Amino acid sequence: MKFFQVHETRDVLRLIEETYEPLERFEEVALYEAFGRVLAEDVRAAEDVPGFDRSTVDGYAVRAQETYGANESMPSFLDLTGVVEMGGEAGSVGAGQAKYIPTGGMMPDGADAVVMIEHAEEVGALLNVYKQVAPGENVIRRGEDVRAGQLILSRGHRLEPQDLGLMAAVGVSRVKVFAKPVVGILSTGDEIVPPETKQLKPGEIRDINTVAIGASLNSMGAEVIYGGIVKDQYEEYLARAKALFEKVDMLIMSGGSSVGTRDYTVQVMQELGEPGILVHGISVKPGKPTILAKAGRKPVVGLPGHPASALVIFDLVVRRIVNRLYDRTPHPFDPRIRARLSRNLPSAVGRSDYVRVRLEKRDGEVWAVPVFGKSGLVSTLTESHGVIEIPGPKEGLLQGEWVEVNCFAGERGIVSEEEDLSGGHAAGCRSEETPGCC
């Protein structure tokens, strides 16, 4: 009799960290091409940013102590000695003097604060100052943003727009990044036909997983080689898997992961090379029949055929493996949103359950409403914004309990404007289109 030797989720996650190694292929790219790429080395600032003291307002560069006590009825009077030009030398401000300075202009020597133009008045060559300023007021100091020698970004960091801006500021115009991992995906099943198929024959279904998993990989910056659909026929499956395996850094197989008589994925994966199968069966629902293997240095994953299972396991397992290829430390907080559970959820002790939920706003609070449905139903995913975990040791969760919703990555988590849940964005979420969840 065949059965799964299921592994605890936490053991599988540890095994992923310990087993799979970073890619050793790098390339150098210009900043303009670096968005979304993962740094292959630490980046340090070679110089201070800003490189000189700058004004943060349009106003007058002064010596702060000469404005002390100034107010509307008793202004300070200073000699106006000139104008600071943008992008040029600023000269100096002596005792009793002031210079006009635009926002971002270089502070003249001797000046230590800027009076905003709203609080001063030019009267010929004199400046009346109506409000005192403290030393450093309205000034960004040299090196206040970044210090020369400072570590600004670490290896394994995925570059966001603000990171590119920071590197531009310190004069880093090209960066060494990990090569995009090339990931192959192969779907198996006699009943699976391409999505373009107009007329399905009895028993046929269109391939959902290839495109959905491919897009999930693209969202992580991977390059995808679509291996197509292969019949449940061992020799053909093995030949196609071997051919694809040669071209990729990681191989994903969808379907045939269970223990049925025509489920050949385990056998095929075992044939790809040593050390072979590491895990067949994880104590999760959905996704129990997941298979993890390694052939040489390359990760090989067998995803359960049910589309909802395949995508939940992508988020739980495959995402982490791709991050290992990038030597990327997971962000300390994933985009999550706290919500209250709308109903009791029982669960089997010893198994981690991942329950799809839709987020709803009721009386000013965000509620997580379970979206039930078998893992073969893909529409349950588009109706949900994320999943909640019921950890292995728990018997379930209670109605009204606060839960953390692990939001689906990218566009799968869109919450429409009418349903705007948080009035803002979840921590770490930068997408304009996904208030509350991203």
* Positions in the binding site for ligand LQZAQKY5 (CB under 6 A): 187, 189, 191-192, 205, 207-210, 254-259, 263, 286, 288-289, 304-307, 309, 375-376
Figure out which of the listed residues 22, 156, 287, 386 binds ligand MOO, where binding follows CB under 6 A.
Answer: 287
Alpha helices in 248-398 (DSSP H): 265-271, 307-313, 319-325, 379-382
Considering only residues 328 to 387 of the shown chain, the ones binding ligand MOO according to CB under 6 A are 375
Residue 91 touches ligand MOO, criterion: CB under 6 A: no
Figure out which of the listed residues 108, 184, 286, 413 binds ligand MOO, where binding follows CB under 6 A.
Answer: 286
Residue least distant from ligand LQZAQKY5 (Cβ): 305
Least distance from C-beta 195 to ligand MOO, angstroms?
Answer: 21
Give the residue with the Cβ less far from ligand MOO, 266 or 429.
Answer: 266
Residue 288 touches ligand MOO, criterion: CB under 6 A: yes
d(CA 96, CA 128): 12
Give the residue with the Cβ less far from ligand MOO, 258 or 323.
Answer: 258
Residue 413 touches ligand MOO, criterion: CB under 6 A: no
Region of 6-14, 25-33, 260-268, 286-294 interacting with ligand MOO (CB under 6 A): 286-294
Taking alpha carbons only, the member of 159, 164, 168, 165 closest to residue 221 is 159
Residue 306 touches ligand MOO, criterion: CB under 6 A: yes
Region of 30-38, 110-118, 188-196, 281-289 interacting with ligand MOO (CB under 6 A): 281-289
Residue 285 touches ligand MOO, criterion: CB under 6 A: yes
Give the residue with the Cβ less far from ligand MOO, 99 or 306.
Answer: 306
Figure out which of the listed residues 209, 309, 323, 422 binds ligand MOO, where binding follows CB under 6 A.
Answer: 309
Give the residue with the Cβ less far from ligand MOO, 184 or 281.
Answer: 281
Residue pair 158/322 in contact by the 8 Å Cβ criterion: no
Query: Distances in Å between the alpha carbon of 273 and those of 188, 225, 252, 294?
Result: 20, 20, 15, 7
**Beta pairing, strands 365-370 & 336-341:** parallel
**Structure token digits, residue 224:** 């995808």
255 binds, among ligand LQZAQKY5, ligand MOO, none (CB under 5 to 8 A by kind): ligand LQZAQKY5
d(CA 33, CA 136): 38
Query: Distances in Å between the alpha carbon of 238 and those of 211, 233, 383, 398?
Result: 22, 9, 36, 47
Residue 436 touches ligand MOO, criterion: CB under 6 A: no
Give the residue with the Cβ less far from ligand MOO, 187 or 309.
Answer: 309
**Structure token digits, residue 292:** 């993890």
Its sign, for the CA torsion 424, 430, 435, 436, is: negative
192 binds, among ligand MOO, ligand LQZAQKY5, none (CB under 5 to 8 A by kind): ligand LQZAQKY5
d(CA 297, CA 295): 6
d(CA 384, CA 412): 8
Query: Distances in Å between the alpha carbon of 77 and those of 82, 84, 97, 275, 318?
Result: 15, 19, 9, 82, 68
**Structure token digits, residue 24:** 């050793």
436 binds, among ligand MOO, ligand LQZAQKY5, none (CB under 5 to 8 A by kind): none
Query: Distances in Å between the alpha carbon of 411 and those of 212, 223, 307, 386, 429?
Result: 12, 19, 17, 11, 12
Q: Which residues pair with 250 in a beta bridge?
A: 183
Give the residue with the Cβ less far from ligand MOO, 326 or 354.
Answer: 354
Least distance from C-beta 207 to ligand LQZAQKY5, angstroms?
Answer: 4
Q: By the criterion CB under 6 A, which residues form the site for ligand MOO?
A: 285-288, 304, 306, 309, 375
